[in-house]
Structure 1
Amino acid sequence: MRKIYVIGIGAGDPDHLTLQAAKAIGRADVFFLLDKGEAKESMIELRRRMLKAYARPSRRIAEGRDPDRDRKPDDYVGTVEDWRSRRSAVTEALITEHLLDEETGAFLVWGDPTLYDSTIAILDEILARGTITFSYEVIPGISSVSSLAAKHRVPLNRVGRPVQITTGRRLATEGWPDGVDDLVVMLDAGQSFGDVADADIYWGAYLGTADEILRSGPVEEVAGEIKRVRAEARDQHGWIMDTYLLRRRDPLDGSPPAAAS
Structure 2
Amino acid sequence: MQLFLIGIGSGNPDHLTLQAVKAINAVDLILIPRKGAGKEDLADLRRDILAAVLTNPATKLVEFDLPVRDEAVADYAERVNLWHDAIAGVWAENIGGAEKVALLVWGDPSLYDSTLRIAARLSPAPQITVIPGITSIQALTAGHAIPLNELAEPVTITTGRQLRDHGFPMGVKACVVMLDGECSFQTLPQEGLHIWWAGYAGMAQEIRLSGALAETGPKIIAARAQARAEHGWIMDIYLLRRRHDNI
- How does the TM-score come out when normalised to structure 2? 0.93
CA distance in 2, matches of 1:48, 1:83: 24
Matches within 5 A, 1:162-241: 162-196=154-188, 197=190, 198-241=192-235
Q: Give the distance between the partners of 1:93 and 1:43, measured in 2 at CA.
A: 22
Letter in 2 for 1:28: V
1:112 corresponding residue in structure 2: 108
Hey, what does 1:28 align to over in structure 2?
27
Give 1:235-250 correspondences, 5 Å limit.
Answer: 235-250=229-244
- Conservation of the 8 A alpha-carbon contact between 2:195 and 2:213: yes
Once the two structures are overlaid, the 10-residue window that deviates more, 49-58 or 84-93, is 49-58
Aligned pairs for 1:11-160 (under 5 A) are: 11-55=10-54, 56-70=56-70, 74-95=74-95, 97=96, 99-100=97-98, 103-126=99-122, 130=123, 132-160=124-152
**Greater CA drift, 73-82 or 109-118:** 73-82
**RMSD (Å) for aligned C-alpha atoms:** 1.7
Question: Any gaps of 5 or more consecutive residues in structure 2?
Answer: none
Aligned equivalents of 2:176, 2:145: Cα separation in 1: 15
Q: Is 187-196 or 230-239 further displaced after alignment?
A: 187-196
Contact residue 23 and residue 54 of structure 1 kept, 8 A = no
Between the two proteins, the alignment pairs up a number of residues equal to 244
Displacement of 1:195 in angstroms is: 2.7
Question: Aligned partners of 2:73 and 2:195: how far apart in 1?
Answer: 28
> 1:253 maps to what in 2?
none
Q: Is the 8 A contact 1:38 1:239 kept in 2?
A: no
- Take 1:225 and 1:74, find their aligned partners in 2: how far apart are those partners? 33
CA displacement at 1:73 relative to structure 2: 6.6
Q: Secondary structure at the match of 1:27?
A: coil
With structure 1 as the length reference, what TM-score do the two structures score? 0.88
Cα separation, 2, equivalents of 1:176 and 1:84 = 29
Distance 1:70 1:115 in 2: 24
Are the equivalent residues in 2 in contact too, given 1:8–1:142 (CA < 8 A)?
yes
